[in-house]
Amino acid sequence: MEKEDIDCIAIECENETRENITILDVSTNKQYRFGLPLSPLTKTVLKKILQEIEDIKEVDYIVASGSLPKHVPLNIYAQIADIATRKKAKFIVDTTGVPLQHAIEAGVYLIKPNLGELSALVGKKELLPNEIVDVARDVVTKNKCEVVVVSMGPEGAMLVTSDFVQHIKPPEVIRKSTVGAGDSMVAGIVYHLSLGKTLIESVQYGVACGTAATMNPGTQLCRKEDADMLLTRLELTEL
């Protein structure tokens, strides 16, 4: 992050908090991901993390993502949502299961579930294509959540608010790796929001960034020139 000239706050902890291995079968171009068991995070470290977020003076957006290490309370994202509310910052969450449910009950601006995560959130095994919009809108109307962006792999994403729905589909690309595609989508959305772009423009750019990330091998993330090119080739459908 320092090489990218990004300000960061490092909080030391006793254990590695996350470790993944991704294997590519070159004969089929399929990826296999192995998420290793997460190490515990102590209460002291967790308290420091929350305090650092609390101490930030001016912030427009707070993004929290990922699964939780052992011993981290399942309402941790809800706690951060309370901090965001006090700071009048837009809170964006990319997680799943009970932590996501706690977050939307506490109050978030935007969530980015994939189809499986959205299904789990509403207690279903899977969603049919014609159910996605209604289920996502229910999440918005029945919880403290303004925007749901449902990521759908090669099909792009569905942007759903209480009064607007748009399907954003990218062009077909040669997919070399899907590692970091979802993170790239969230980054693209927040980046364009921070530039003053509309929500619709920002989610479109997020889809472009997520798709651009799949064009690179391994853990490489998206290239801006790829994202900018894809942005001009999106297929947009208002529903």
3-state secondary structure 155-187: HCEEEECCCCEEEEECCCCCCCCCCCHHHHHHH
Alpha helices by DSSP H, the chain:
43-55, 76-87, 97-106, 115-121, 132-142, 181-194, 199-213, 224-231
- 9 lies in some domain: no
CATH code at position 108: 3.40.1190.20
Confidence at residue 18, expressed as pLDDT on a 0 to 100 scale = 81
Tens of pLDDT, residue by residue over 140-196, are 999 999 999 999 999 999 999 999 999 999 999 998 898 999 999 999 999 999 999
Cβ pair 87, 59 in contact under 8 A: yes
Task: Tell me whether residue 69 is in a domain.
Answer: yes
Of 131, 143, 153, the C-alpha closest to 239 is 131
In a domain, 13, yes or no: no
User: What is the extent of the structural domain holding 188?
Assistant: 60-238
CA dist 74 and 97 (Å) reads 9
> What is the model's pTM?
0.93
Q: How far apart are alpha carbons 93 and 84 in whole angstroms?
A: 12
d(CA 136, CA 160): 7
| Helix, strand, coil share of the chain (percent; to 5) | 40, 20, 40
Q: Does the residue 37 lie in any domain?
A: no
* 196, part of any domain: yes
183 is catalytic: yes
Taking only the tens place, the pLDDT of each residue in 104-146 is 999 999 999 999 999 999 999 999 989 999 999 999 999 999 9
Catalytic-role residue among 25, 55, 183, 228: 183
Count of domains forming the chain: 1
Q: How far apart are CA 5 and CA 10, in angstroms?
A: 14
Q: Max alpha carbon distance in the chain (Å)? A: 52
